[in-house]
Structure 1
Amino acid sequence: MWKFLFRTNIIVAFCLATLLDAQLFRTRDRMDNLEGFDNQKFSYGFYLAANNFDYKLVLDPKFGMDGQKSLVQTKSSYSFGAGLIGKMRLNDHFDLRIEPALQFMQREILFDTQSNDQYAAETPANEPFTPRVLTDADKVRNVKSTYVDVPLLIEVHGDRWYNSRAYAAAGVNWMVNLQSNSKSADDNMNGIFRTTSSNFAWTAEIGMQFYFSRFKLTPGFRGTFMINDEMVADNAGTPPYWSAAIATAKTRAFMFVLKFE
């Protein structure tokens, strides 16, 4: 479903640009659209996003690796989001943007950590534990997340070329995970992979702005990368099949955004 939504957004952007090419770039009897739009101190809009979310995992060398083999894998997923745009003009080439959004996704983490049975005896690195046979349900964690994503971005852009303008933006995000389970007393022993609720990330974005007679359309590509470790460790006494195998887990996301102002 997410692949379909992602492809649909790309097709919609392509069709809009193609169908209205004459309006945007004709040179004979050409009139610039929305000539005074970018001179406003404040402007507003909304956007839609097709996303690909994944975890960047750094594995524990003892519990997460078996020689050169990685015992934990993650699968990315396609998802969607929607948000609002608030923009403040700084000067002819710089704007300040805040774009709060909701991002929905579900990711999968696979644990092939049965070989950690070898550490059942007490060592300086771990307490003793009773080995258990991992079932298929034990080996898979479906991690659902709903992020309230609040990026604060500085945008730099060139001069308009006919009815278009290239831009780039970068900034920081505050991301609140509404499905983090961070305060749950249960952990992976009970099938719950816990993550932090409040997080920080950095974002970079590039794209093109197209000016039509009634609105500005902006297709762009964005990358968002978490700064902090999101994983909440399992409770003391839980065998090292799950969180103990992961040193850090940080979200990384790639988005196709379609903005309307």
Structure 2
Amino acid sequence: MKKILVIICCVFTLQPAYSQLFSKKKVLNDASGGNGQIDNNILTWGYYLGFNSYDFKFTYNTNAEAIVRKPATGFNVGLVGDVKLNNYVNIRLEPGIFFSTRNLEYPESYGLTDPVDRAREIKSSYVHVPLLLKFSTKRINNFKPFVVGGFSTSLNLSSNQDNPDDNSNNQFRMKKATYYYEVGFGVDFYLYYFKFTPSIRGVFALNDELVRDVDPNSPWTGNIKAMKSRGVFINFTFQ
């Protein structure tokens, strides 16, 4: 996952420089099959596919040994609704379904000696709804870099918030609703029939998502002051 992020960052960084060095004007694609410039439309639609890597940020009550986090790569799919405010600013709604897996490993110093008790696998299926502002540069031939930011909310369809069982019965519980802020960047590539947009975005939860065990001294949740999701999204959008 880290290698993919490095490669994409390098591509985004080098593209503007390449354009300046080789600035001979090219034939401009209108990304609409010849039916008019797509950027002239006030409202446009599309869809995206992508990958995610969710993690947790833990804040502890004491300076105990940290819980080991082992994020995995997940999958995203969703829709895009884009409203043009002017030539450089758009407002976007990007509802989607996000599937993720995170693994936690508790240290033995927490009083957990059984490997089953020390390990927790957390699978989540989110309905994720971000509302974003997109700030673009001037179009350079057939591409246009941009930055994006905003707020989002998600509903965890895999949440077991209301489950009466807790970690003493191998049930790690999370809240259903999470709120985030998001920041990222990307590049619009204008092709003949459509606009293709790779982008990368960081998401950071604003609220504590942990549902604590009944026992206030639980080795799984007793020392956790706050548990907040954070993640990286790599999306490929088609409009």
The TM-score range, normalised by the shorter chain, is: 0.7 to 0.9
CA distance in 2, matches of 1:115, 1:168: 43
Contact 2:216–2:222, Cα closer than 8 Å, also in 1: no
Q: Secondary structure of the residue that 1:57 maps to in structure 2?
A: strand
Deviation at 1:71, TM superposition (A): 4.2
What is the number of equivalent residue pairs in this alignment?
221
Cα RMSD for the two superposed structures: 2.3
1:243 aligns with 2:238: no
- 1:1-261 to structure 2, matched below 5 A, reads 27=24, 30-34=26-30, 36-61=37-62, 65-66=63-64, 70-115=65-110, 134-235=113-214, 237=215, 239-261=217-239
Structure 1: 5+ residue runs without aligned partners?
15-24, 117-132
Of the two, which has the highest radius of gyration?
A: 1
- Ranges of 4+ aligned residues in structure 1 off by more than 3 Å: 25-28, 113-116
Q: Secondary structure of the residue that 1:243 maps to in structure 2?
A: coil
Contact 1:71–1:113, Cα closer than 8 Å, also in 2: no
Contact 1:172–1:202, Cα closer than 8 Å, also in 2: yes
Change (3 A) 1:182 1:115: closer
Change (3 A) 1:74 1:134: same
Deviation at 1:205, TM superposition (A): 1.4
Letter in 2 for 1:42: L
Deviation at 1:182, TM superposition (A): 0.3
Contact 2:207–2:228, Cα closer than 8 Å, also in 1: yes
Q: Matched residues, percent identical?
A: 31
Contact 1:72–1:113, Cα closer than 8 Å, also in 2: no
Deviation at 1:110, TM superposition (A): 1.3
CA distance in 1, matches of 2:171, 2:121: 9
Letter in 2 for 1:257: N
Letter in 2 for 1:53: Y
CA distance in 2, matches of 1:217, 1:252: 26
Contact 2:142–2:190, Cα closer than 8 Å, also in 1: yes
Q: Secondary structure of the residue that 1:189 maps to in structure 2?
A: helix
Letter in 2 for 1:78: T
CA distance in 2, matches of 1:115, 1:153: 41
Render the CA deviation track for 1:100-147: whole Å, top value 9, x for unaligned.
01110111111125455xxxxxxxxxxxxxxxx641111111111111
**Partner of residue 14, structure 2:** none
Report the TM-score when normalising by structure 1.
0.78
CA distance in 1, matches of 2:61, 2:172: 17
Structure 2: 5+ residue runs without aligned partners?
12-21, 31-35
Deviation at 1:79, TM superposition (A): 1.0
Q: Secondary structure of the residue that 1:142 maps to in structure 2?
A: strand
